[in-house]
Chains A and B, each alone.
Chain A
């Protein structure tokens, strides 16, 4: 793996390998000293053209836990605000010897351009580009799903706890995930549909037709306009094992401006038809979990009862984000093409010396 740009680029073996590595990384995070020396001497640049405090902090934490030097580059107040092009910024980072560039950009395809334009030798990690992809979000979602849903049994949140050892090497075969809300503008949905399909899960997208992209029928998933029917299991895949609520992007919902606006009549109607509230929570199976990439609009796409219920794994998603991003950075910068670059079990230490990346 040279870059991480899209979940469509990940085969099942790659995805499982990242999740297994993340599990090992997560195990180290319960130690008194969480820091590993693995990426000592490497430089990771967080190149953020778009505000995203939680994603940036998650990547920064991941890189620092691996002992990398981290440079945070925000477009605001930087040379970018003075008109510098992406190309010139990339050439600057190249000159400064960045080993990895974590890029968040409002333009779909910007990470692809950075990875392939020849401006930069560094590994490029897509931390969210426009409406296109957010692969580490999908990976942390899959990781969270796997902890709760893989293996022989289904682990209800708050029960005996997820079993990471049982999940090792597993996918999400046969599980059913409903992704609900603004699919049209969601890089999270785009990333998740492909990754979950790769891992063997069934996906149902639930949204009003105005919030589904033209061409969605070609995606590897089902589509429903009826959230109640999906939650009640009135589909070929039965009821969902997980419900992933998407944020309604209020800035896109006005009646004018870019995007055309007016995707639904008003927030109340949206909430009634597509919001996850206590009643709908009751339709879910015992073991089913509730997810949300955050930040949440409480009272719009998700009620407080749903967000704070024992089924919700939203905070756990955030924690898992650090482990997944550690795994990605580790595999890009220190891993090799061998399958056993990471320790076989969480009880073993993660490699303590730098590794030379495969040429």
Chain B
């Protein structure tokens, strides 16, 4: 790590947030200089400087994912912190929040510190563990939220994701309790009784396929309840992977009322619909389920107008046998770290609904702010300005690639975009000035990072 960390990188001709080309100089872990193309004062090749030809590439602040499943500890056959964070770097991320539904559950200071340390040692991205709201995700008793907040992992995001905190008293107590350390409760909104046995979105397709339906109202009812609870106790609420048009409307109403609520949408809910279930391919089985085209349009609109604050991947890797089976027996979830930026480009940028500056907001600064990792020594989601941490992602928006799950860095292959052509490619990722990806290839910590893009 040390040799690469001392390297100075000159990103020649990069376009910060899609703007005019400049030279971005990364040195000493920070953005040392921003200069006109060719005018950077930093040394030339041969004196420890690596010049990266970034002509035509968009420079973004390192991406931050508020919703990643790394599976370790417990399901290392599906993903490890090492493989998952390498996939994150490949996707342009410099920080991820690791969800708590591991085995054991991340509901103690000990487990979150373990995850945090394994992430730090892997060195691909900053790993911020999400603490469970309830012991064992059982929805009965508050987990040791304070101890997790005070641990080395400094947890600020708490979630029983995968399960809904459906008990209104427990949810109220959690919202109140995390105010003591400026935490946020990230809710997986799923009314359990309305979704018993549910397999996919309830609608025309579920009726045809004979799969138990998952009604939109099961999500919307919980979001409506929780925004009112958050208002009542004056706390911060974050809505995980919102997926329906009604959910967008409720969040829009709540924000208009001044309630401190934020919301995320996944890349797959920005583009895929429940029609894909027709082939009974469990790759498309996900929680919340893929919805209708009208819902897809609503979440795009919500993201464009700021109702939805961020895009979060809900990267959910699974071992092959957990997907290579009947729909009803298959696990919920899709991988997403390595395709997220491309899907956002395809659905929001290439359609003119978001600028690259907006992308920096929804995929970096806003998730960092929600997770309270936007300040301090390891600040993420900061602007691309001199003196800021050198967390930078270089994207080639003109590239096109056909997704191949087997060729990705994640240990799992359950990508819903298998065989699809997507725009955009992450050319390089820098974590505090150290290249974790160069020329599209992961660079392990400690490796010689003198790759120069031709």
| A38 CA / B103 CA spacing, docked (Å) | 56
A108 close to B328 (CB less than 8 A): yes
**Is B215 an interface residue when CB atoms closer than 8 A count as contact?**
yes
B193 close to A260 (CB less than 8 A): yes
Given A87-B324, A109-B327, A132-B210, answer yes or no on A218-B204 (Cβ-Cβ < 8 Å): yes
B204 close to A215 (CB less than 8 A): yes
Q: What size tier do the contact residues of chain A reach?
A: 20 to 34
Q: Contact check: which of B206, B211, B212, B326 meets A113 at CB < 8 Å? A: B326
Query: CB-CB contacts of B303-343 with A at 8 A, as 1s and 0s?
Result: 00000000000000000010011111100000000000000
Query: CB-CB contacts of B192-234 with A at 8 A, as 1s and 0s?
Result: 0110110100111111111111010000000000000000000
B328 close to A130 (CB less than 8 A): yes
Chain B CB within 10 Å, residue with most, of A109, A113, A132: A109
| A108 CA / B196 CA spacing, docked (Å) | 16
B325 close to A86 (CB less than 8 A): yes
How many residues of B are counted as interface, with CB atoms below 8 angstroms from the partner's CB atoms?
Answer: 27
A107 close to B213 (CB less than 8 A): no
**Is B279 an interface residue when CB atoms closer than 8 A count as contact?**
yes
A113 close to B280 (CB less than 8 A): yes
Closest to B211 in A: A108
- Cβ–Cβ < 8 Å partners of A133 in chain B: 210
| A259 CA / B194 CA spacing, docked (Å) | 9
A132 close to B207 (CB less than 8 A): no
- Cβ–Cβ < 8 Å partners of A117 in chain B: 324
A215 close to B207 (CB less than 8 A): yes
| A130 CA / B207 CA spacing, docked (Å) | 12
| A213 CA / B201 CA spacing, docked (Å) | 12
Closest to B213 in A: A214
Q: Contact check: which of A106, A190, A259 meets B208 at CB < 8 Å? A: A190
Interface secondary structure of A, over-half rule:
loop
**Is A288 an interface residue when CB atoms closer than 8 A count as contact?**
no
- Cβ–Cβ < 8 Å partners of B211 in chain A: 108-109, 130-132
Given A109-B327, A112-B280, A190-B208, answer yes or no on A213-B213 (Cβ-Cβ < 8 Å): yes
- Cβ–Cβ < 8 Å partners of A248 in chain B: none
- Cβ–Cβ < 8 Å partners of B212 in chain A: 131, 258-259
B206 close to A105 (CB less than 8 A): no
- Cβ–Cβ < 8 Å partners of A106 in chain B: 328
Q: Contact check: which of A8, A85, A108, A216 meets B325 at CB < 8 Å? A: A85
B215 close to A187 (CB less than 8 A): no
Closest to A109 in B: B280
Closest to B280 in A: A109
| A260 CA / B196 CA spacing, docked (Å) | 7
Closest to A129 in B: B210
Inter-chain residue pair count (beta carbon < 8 A): 84
| A109 CA / B208 CA spacing, docked (Å) | 11
A194: min CB distance to chain B, Å:
9
A259 close to B328 (CB less than 8 A): no
Chain A CB within 10 Å, residue with most, of B194, B321, B327: B327
| A296 CA / B207 CA spacing, docked (Å) | 24
Given A85-B321, A215-B203, A258-B197, answer yes or no on A116-B279 (Cβ-Cβ < 8 Å): yes
A130: min CB distance to chain B, Å:
5
B244: min CB distance to chain A, Å:
14
- Cβ–Cβ < 8 Å partners of B279 in chain A: 112, 116
| A245 CA / B163 CA spacing, docked (Å) | 39
**Is A93 an interface residue when CB atoms closer than 8 A count as contact?**
no
- Cβ–Cβ < 8 Å partners of B207 in chain A: 213-216, 218-219
- Cβ–Cβ < 8 Å partners of A190 in chain B: 208, 210
A263: min CB distance to chain B, Å:
13
**Is A142 an interface residue when CB atoms closer than 8 A count as contact?**
no
B205 close to A215 (CB less than 8 A): yes
A214 close to B215 (CB less than 8 A): yes
A187 close to B324 (CB less than 8 A): no
**Is A110 an interface residue when CB atoms closer than 8 A count as contact?**
yes
- Cβ–Cβ < 8 Å partners of B206 in chain A: 213-215
| A133 CA / B209 CA spacing, docked (Å) | 8
| B residues 243-300 touching A (CB-CB < 8 Å) | 279-280
Q: Contact check: which of B194, B202, B209, B215 meets A132 at CB < 8 Å? A: B209
| A107 CA / B206 CA spacing, docked (Å) | 13
Query: CB-CB contacts of A186-206 with B at 8 A, as 1s and 0s?
Result: 010010000000000000000
- Cβ–Cβ < 8 Å partners of A219 in chain B: 207
B291: min CB distance to chain A, Å:
13
| A residues 163-204 touching B (CB-CB < 8 Å) | 187, 190
A107 close to B324 (CB less than 8 A): no
| A85 CA / B321 CA spacing, docked (Å) | 9
| A113 CA / B283 CA spacing, docked (Å) | 12
| A187 CA / B215 CA spacing, docked (Å) | 21
Closest to B215 in A: A214
| A112 CA / B211 CA spacing, docked (Å) | 13
A107 close to B329 (CB less than 8 A): yes
- Cβ–Cβ < 8 Å partners of B326 in chain A: 86, 105, 107, 109-110, 113
Chain A CB within 10 Å, residue with most, of B205, B210, B325: B210
- Cβ–Cβ < 8 Å partners of A130 in chain B: 210-211, 328
B208 close to A214 (CB less than 8 A): no
A214 close to B325 (CB less than 8 A): no
- Cβ–Cβ < 8 Å partners of A86 in chain B: 325-326, 329
A11: min CB distance to chain B, Å:
18
Closest to A191 in B: B210
A264: min CB distance to chain B, Å:
18
B208 close to A108 (CB less than 8 A): no
B445: min CB distance to chain A, Å:
38
A91: min CB distance to chain B, Å:
11
Query: CB-CB contacts of A99-138 with B at 8 A, as 1s and 0s?
Result: 0000001111110110011000000000001111100000
| A112 CA / B326 CA spacing, docked (Å) | 9
Closest to B277 in A: A109
Closest to A8 in B: B208
| A112 CA / B210 CA spacing, docked (Å) | 13
- Cβ–Cβ < 8 Å partners of A187 in chain B: 210
- Cβ–Cβ < 8 Å partners of B327 in chain A: 107-110, 113
| A112 CA / B280 CA spacing, docked (Å) | 7
Closest to B329 in A: A107
Query: CB-CB contacts of A11-37 with B at 8 A, as 1s and 0s?
Result: 000000000000000000000000000
A214 close to B203 (CB less than 8 A): yes
A154: min CB distance to chain B, Å:
32
B210 close to A259 (CB less than 8 A): no
Query: CB-CB contacts of A232-274 with B at 8 A, as 1s and 0s?
Result: 0000000000000000000000000111100000000000000
- Cβ–Cβ < 8 Å partners of A215 in chain B: 202-208
| A260 CA / B218 CA spacing, docked (Å) | 13
| A169 CA / B83 CA spacing, docked (Å) | 62
Nearest 7 interchain pairs by C-beta: A132-B210, A109-B280, A131-B210, A215-B204, A215-B207, A213-B207, A107-B328
Can you list 29 A-B contacts (CB < 8 A)? A8-B208, A85-B324, A85-B325, A87-B325, A107-B327, A108-B209, A108-B211, A108-B280, A108-B328, A109-B209, A109-B210, A110-B327, A112-B279, A113-B280, A130-B211, A130-B328, A131-B210, A131-B212, A132-B209, A187-B210, A213-B206, A214-B213, A215-B202, A258-B197, A258-B212, A259-B196, A259-B197, A260-B193, A260-B194
8 further interface pairs, Cβ-Cβ under 8 Å (given A213-B207, A259-B197): A107-B328, A108-B209, A108-B328, A109-B209, A131-B210, A133-B210, A215-B207, A218-B204
